[in-house]
Amino acid sequence: MSVQQIPTGKIIDGEEVIAIELTNSKGTYVKIFNYGTIINKFVVKNANGEMQDIVLGFDTFDEYLDPAYLKNYPYFGAIVGRYANRIKNGRFTIGEESYQLAQNAGTDTLHGGVVGFDRKVWDIVEIGEGAQSFVTLQYESVDGEEHFPGNLIVDLTFELTENDELILSYEAETDKATAINLTHHSYFNLAANGGNIKNHKQQIFAANYLEQDDNYSVTGKLIPVEGTPWDFTKSKAIGTDWNEDEGYDQTFVLDKIYGDLSLASKTIEEDSGLVLSVYTTEPVAHLYTAKYLGVKNGKGGKDYESYGAFCIETQHHPNAVNIPEFPSTILNPDDLYTQTTIYKVSLNK
């Protein structure tokens, strides 16, 4: 197991952007930038003995800053915060205090606002080698940033195991009650040559999904998946029941005990033989099949098009800050926010 730090030569807001590579004895490795905690590479051996990168991204760091990429910004491989997905009308209330956020998705707030945690340089606070290789990154979001209350300190640890598990462990503390809902936004494709993911087989351990309005904002209503195109309780090709013009962009309420680490999602690509299993302590998983993806000159000069990837975004219920029936997304000063999500890669045997 090894950890390597690689300077990019890029300085943003006075902070140096560093690439961190975690490698295990099998040759599996993950490359992470401390800018936005971007997972730039996740390279594993497929069933054909080939080393294969299963996440979308760019060959160089500078390409993540390209205005053409940011114009239709898909959050490639980055953390999302302070608040994942949408907050209806960009408003919420804590106690007697109301907060109005930037409305960057129609009338709603998306993924933390105009400049979220994905556009910040994080501090490297700890690195370890041994049975597991890991790096801990930290960011302090000041009171009022994107109009959220409280000084919030977030630690995110990436740990690579010998079992080809990438473990993401989050912790956060605040000095004032605030809304928080973190996730990571990697775009996966398990096919050796990429392309449309409609033939990937998908299973999600959820009997219900969340109703959304026309702007994809959660309303508070749970809908049973049985008898609908959103039924992934048994493994099926992603394209089996989808609307080809829409794909999937839906939040699934996991069948689990709240807070327990359990299997949320399993994706299989038969030609590569790769399986991606996602375990989480979070109550929901959001499946996004990248309808709006349109990125030129990705890795190897490849263009990434609609349905060229899938995301499994583990989090609390979107818009929960406005829906009291949902598990709370309010963090108080005496509490510790924690979350664990594991991306485990294996072979379909």
| Active site members | 185, 313
CB neighbour list of residue 297: distance below 8 Å, 6 or more residues apart = 58, 63, 303
For residue 320, what is the DSSP state?
Answer: G
Report d(CA 195, CA 179) in Å as an integer.
37
Q: Comparing C-alpha atoms, which of 33, 28, 54 is closest to residue 311?
A: 54
| Longest CA–CA separation in the chain, Å | 59
Q: Transcribe 156-210 into DSSP letters.
A: EEEEE-TTSEEEEEEEEEESS-EE-B-EEE--B--STT----TTSEEEE--SEEE
How many C-beta atoms surround the C-beta of residue 92 within 10 A? 24
Burial label for 16, CB within 10 Å (0-12, 13-18, 19+), is middle
Residue 142 has, within 13 A of its CA and on its CB side, a CA count of 1
